[in-house]
């Protein structure tokens, strides 16, 4: 179902480490997370236009990611934008893939190249710089969302991938508003990839994460960026989250719903130093 013929596919640098390399094992694991989350979702009134989902190794963040993607299970968006951090020291502030598709063990996901070019031009008009296309990037944060999308959505989709190193408000707003221009009137979904606080005791992490999730659910991108910059709450993907919020509000989003918060301690049993994970749905 997911295989696409293309001569230029980004090979996965994380299959077999961050998630299973076996298609059967990966599908079984993701489906289990989706099923468990679907039984526990809060009521969602309206159309989900945006998500926040975590991106750690699947055994750690998968149970929380399941909540985000269970909220759109069975949907058939034509295009999905995934905004993520770039954890590696590229000099460019914004990056996208130079490949025609992303590979996962579940098949390849084609890049929406025409829409990506239009989005890049919209960003360039606002900022004077467009996303740089790179090949064979090692970034996990964007790729980790793809197997969940492949299993949750009802049909194949085309991908708009963007990795961010510049989290300034002007950049985040430009990215979001340019994306909204591309997606206006389209059946689309926007996913922001982000973990939350890192390496605090569980009680502290829960307080920090609750504050960040409240800013996200309030659809307040400025508060997300301010809190992260000031150390009042944390999201390693604060820029992608803020850009998603600007985009979804321009597309008519009216409210956010926190679906789940958990931490690595829930998996490892070590609550002295945890990484926080959250799932949020943005609705119109």
Q: How far apart are CA 224 and CA 211, in angstroms?
A: 9
Share of the chain above pLDDT 90, in %: 98
Q: Tell me whether residue 157 is in a domain.
A: yes
Helix (H, G, I), strand (E, B) or coil at 10: strand
SS3 letters for 26-67?
HHHHHHHHHHHHHCCCCCCCCCEEEEEECCCCHHHHHHHHHH
Position 153 scores a pLDDT of 98
Structural domain of residue 264, as residue ranges?
9-283
Coil/strand/helix, residue 52: strand
Structural tokens at position 7: 């001569």
Distance (Å, whole) CA 31 – CA 43: 21
| pLDDT higher than threshold 90 for residue 4 | no
Domain CATH code at residue 179: 3.40.830.10
CB 243 within 8 A of CB 192: yes
pLDDT of residue 232: 97
Start-to-end CA distance of the chain, whole Å, equals 30
Confidence of residue 1 (pLDDT cuts 50, 70, 90): very low
- Residue range 60-88: average pLDDT? 98
pLDDT of amino acid 168 = 98
Structural domain includes residue 142: yes
Identify whether the C-beta of residue 233 lies closer than 8 Å to the C-beta of residue 209. Answer: yes
56 exposure class (CB count in 10 Å sphere: 0-12, 13-18, 19+): buried
Which has the closest alpha carbon to 234: 243, 224, 222? 224
pLDDT at 3: 42
Radius of gyration of the chain (CA): 17
CA geometry: angle 229, 213, 254, nearest 5 deg: 110
Sign of CA dihedral 154, 105, 25, 280: negative
Residue 175 lies in a domain: yes
Q: Would residue 151 count as lying in a domain? A: yes
Contact 94, 177 (CB under 8 A): no
pLDDT band of 2, cuts 50, 70, 90:
very low
How far is the C-alpha of 43 from the C-alpha of 36, rounded, in Å? 15
Return d(Cα 39, Cα 33) in angstroms, integer. 10
**Domain contains 1:** no
List, for residues 243-264, the tens digit of each pLDDT value: 999 999 999 999 999 999 999 9
> Order of strands, edge to edge, in the sheet holding 9-10?
9-10, 101-104, 107-110
Tell me the pLDDT tens digit for each residue of 94-149.
999 999 999 999 999 999 999 999 999 999 999 999 999 999 999 999 999 999 99
Q: Does 4 fall in a domain? A: no
Q: Are 82 and 145 in contact (CB under 8 A)?
A: yes
Say which DSSP state 8 is in: -
Residue 163: both structure tokens together: 């990795």
**Of 265, 132, 116, 98, nearest to 197 (Cα)?**
265
Residue 159: strand, helix, or coil:
strand
State how many domains the chain has: 1
pLDDT digits (tens, 9 = 90+) for 5-58: 456 999 999 999 999 999 999 999 999 999 999 999 999 999 999 999 999 999
Question: What pLDDT digit, counting tens, does each position of 138-163 carry?
Answer: 999 999 999 999 999 999 999 999 99
């Amino acid at each position: 179902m997911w295989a696409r013929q293309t001569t230029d596919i980004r090979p996965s640098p994380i299959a077999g480490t961050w998630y299973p390399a076996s298609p059967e094992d990966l599908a079984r694991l993701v489906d289990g997370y989706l099923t468990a989350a679907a039984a526990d979702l809060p009521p969602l009134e309206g159309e989900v236009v945006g998500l926040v989902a975590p991106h750690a190794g699947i055994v750690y963040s998968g149970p929380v990611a399941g909540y985000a993607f269970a909220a759109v299970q069975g949907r058939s968006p034509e295009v999905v934008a995934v905004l993520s951090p770039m954890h590696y020291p590229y000099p460019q502030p914004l990056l996208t893939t130079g490949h025609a598709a992303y590979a996962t063990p579940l098949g390849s996901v084609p890049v929406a190249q025409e829409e990506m070019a239009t989005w890049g031009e919209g960003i360039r008009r606002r900022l004077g710089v467009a996303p740089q296309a790179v090949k064979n990037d090692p970034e996990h944060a964007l790729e980790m969302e793809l197997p969940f999308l492949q299993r949750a959505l009802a049909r194949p989709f085309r991908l708009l991938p963007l990795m961010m190193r510049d989290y300034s408000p002007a950049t985040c707003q430009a990215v979001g508003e340019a994306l909204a221009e591309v997606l206006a009137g389209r059946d689309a979904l926007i996913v922001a990839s982000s973990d939350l606080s890192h390496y605090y005791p569980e009680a502290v992490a829960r307080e920090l994460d609750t504050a960040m999730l409240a800013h996200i659910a309030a659809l307040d991108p400025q508060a997300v960026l301010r809190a992260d910059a000031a150390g009042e709450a944390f999201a390693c993907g604060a820029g992608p989250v803020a850009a998603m919020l600007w985009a979804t509000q321009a597309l008519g989003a009216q409210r956010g719903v926190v679906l789940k918060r958990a931490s690595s301690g829930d998996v490892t049993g070590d609550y002295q130093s945890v990484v926080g994970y959250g799932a949020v749905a943005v609705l119109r």
